[in-house]
Amino acid sequence: MFQAITSMTAHISDPPFATQSLQAKNLTCVRGEQTLFSNLSFALTSGECLHVRGENGVGKTSLLRLLVGLSQPEQGEVIWNTSSIKSDR
């Protein structure tokens, strides 16, 4: 036998997390003998976004690979919160 639910309430609180940050500091990416980008720097915090666009072969995927630690930059570093992703993969 089924019983009908006549009303339902829910309370969703704000998430209990601190502001997160991602920083790219003077990144240089080289593939083969071609420099895809150099001295690239930016900082993002929770709620911000980065729009990455460009022609084929300019380094969009390479940048994303650097930001998540799948590749290492020729120069510069990526900081997640306060730690270099090199030391905290």
- Domains observed in the chain: 21-48+56-84 (3.40.50.300)
What are the residues facing 44 on neighbouring strands?
22
DSSP 35-82: EEEEEEEEEEETT-------STTSSHHHHHHHHTTSS--SEEEEEETT
| Average confidence (pLDDT) over 59-66 | 95
Give the pLDDT of residue 88: 62
What band does 3 get if pLDDT is binned at 50, 70 and 90? very low
CA–chain centroid gap for 49, Å, is: 9
Residue 33 has pLDDT above 90, yes or no: yes
What proportion of the chain, given as a percentage, has pLDDT over 70?
79
Q: pLDDT for 35-57, tens place per residue?
A: 999 999 999 999 999 999 999 98
Sequence-separated (6 or more) residues with CB below 8 Å from residue 62: 29, 31, 36, 71
